[in-house]
Amino acid sequence: MPGNTLYIVVPCYNEEAVLPETAHRLGEKLRALMNAGKISPQSRAMFVNDGSKDKTWAIIEGLHQSDSLFCGVDLSRNRGHQNALLAGLMTARDRADMVVSMDADLQDDVDAVDAMVDKYLEGVDIVYGVRSSRKTDTFFKRTTAEAFYRMMDALGAETVFNHADYRLMSRRALDGLAQFTEVNLFLRGIVPMIGYRTDVVEYQRGERFAGESKYPLKKMIAFALEGVTSLSVKPLRMITGLGFLVFFVSLVMIIYNVVRWATGNTVTGWASIACSVWLIGGLILLALGVIGEYLGKLYMESKDRPRFLIREVLDGGDGGSD
């Protein structure tokens, strides 16, 4: 029988408004699963404080003091959702047999954890939580999010459709993840690369319980670009295609002009020249931008900087050593 200690890892950035309720629900869920004998009594909910500016860490400390079921990881500063999640996963990896990651705002249905744990006990290594509908999202969030998945797909970044970062991973899968040492980490694209037995669990995505989204449109676009450039070189290939196309157009233009010249039909048209100069200039800048994007990635990777630094881990009792 595989070990059955479950850690639920929750990245938190300025989540004081939702944290007490989230902790309450997670606590209930963990106790219910323990009583059902599905998970061990060493199981925990682990909150990762991603350099919050509000009382998030104080709340986590309070939770930990009042109940050893709750533990915490305090990062040295704000490192963004993906890195915070990674810090939690890597800390939980040594203590747990399976780790579920979920958002702090209770948008991920806590009850889906049961089905995830069941699948783990059947021998599945990665269970993806997949949204069955987006009814509760605003029209704007829904359309932008779906455009996000389509664009990712078109640009060659394979992800699981409508799956965010709500998933269960076994310790073996986490050990695999630990070997992906890239700095530009896009978990949703990397996790499917790990392999092993995978499965999905459907759930209804709820509304943010309180507080506001930490992913405004600007961050979402940055996240999409991050995803595409860290998973695929298709945009670079598209530039090559574009280059061929422009070259072909210019050939046609040259032939056309030669014919016009031969038939004595030369006209003084600066408009067409001005337009093409701007068009070509724009395309060149765009192409350079895409190349720069990848070059920037390469630059960051070559520095090999740490992806997160942990200031403190609160996990007393039977779990870990620190």
Rule CB under 6 A: is residue 223 a binding residue for ligand UDP? Answer: no
What is d(CA 218, CA 291) in angstroms, rounded to the nearest whole number?
21
Contacts of 290 (CB under 8 A, 6+ apart): 235, 236, 239
Rule CB under 6 A: is residue 214 a binding residue for ligand UDP? Answer: yes
Q: State in angstroms the smallest separation of the CB of 238 from ligand UDP.
A: 28
- Write b or e for each residue in 60-84: b if 16 or more Cβ atoms lie within 10 A of its Cβ, otherwise e: bbbbbeeebbbbbbbbeeebbbbbb
Q: State in angstroms the smallest separation of the CB of 183 from ligand UDP.
A: 16
**Max CA distance (Å), the chain:** 93
CB nearer Mg ion, residue 124 or residue 224? 224
Residue span binding ligand UDP (CB under 6 A) among the ranges 66-74, 97-105, 112-120, 242-250? 97-105
Number of residues in contact with ligand UDP, rule: CB under 6 A?
Answer: 16
- Quick one: DSSP state of residue 280? H
What's the token pair of residue 160?
A: 């699981």
- Detail the DSSP E strand segments found in 159-215: 163-170, 198-203
What is d(CA 156, CA 153) in angstroms, rounded to the nearest whole number?
5
Rule CB under 6 A: is residue 84 a binding residue for ligand UDP? Answer: yes
Rule CB under 6 A: is residue 230 a binding residue for ligand UDP? Answer: no
CB nearer Mg ion, residue 96 or residue 113? 113
Residue span binding ligand UDP (CB under 6 A) among the ranges 115-123, 169-177, 194-202, 208-216? 208-216
> In 3D, which of 321, 106, 312 has the Cα closest to residue 208?
106
Rule CB under 6 A: is residue 203 a binding residue for ligand UDP? Answer: no
CB nearer ligand UDP, residue 62 or residue 156? 62
Q: State in angstroms the smallest separation of the CB of 21 from Mg ion.
A: 14
Rule CB under 6 A: is residue 13 a binding residue for ligand UDP? Answer: yes
Strand partners, 9: 46, 101
Q: State in angstroms the smallest separation of the CB of 227 from ligand UDP.
A: 14
From candidates 26, 59, 104, 177, binder to ligand UDP by CB under 6 A: 104
Rule CB under 6 A: is residue 103 a binding residue for ligand UDP? Answer: yes
> In 3D, which of 100, 120, 124 has the Cα closest to residue 26?
100
What's the token pair of residue 22?
A: 């989230």
Burial class (CB in 10 A: 0-12, 13-18, 19+), 270: exposed
What is d(CA 232, CA 216) in angstroms, rounded to the nearest whole number?
24
Q: State in angstroms the smallest separation of the CB of 239 from Mg ion.
A: 35
> In 3D, which of 53, 50, 48 has the Cα closest to residue 73?
48
98 binds, among Mg ion, ligand UDP, none (CB under 5 to 8 A by kind): none
From candidates 8, 23, 50, 99, binder to ligand UDP by CB under 6 A: 50
186 binds, among Mg ion, ligand UDP, none (CB under 5 to 8 A by kind): none
> In 3D, which of 92, 8, 104, 126 has the Cα closest to residue 52?
104
Please report, as ranges, the residues that interact with ligand UDP according to CB under 6 A.
11-13, 15, 50, 78, 80-81, 84, 103-105, 107, 213-215
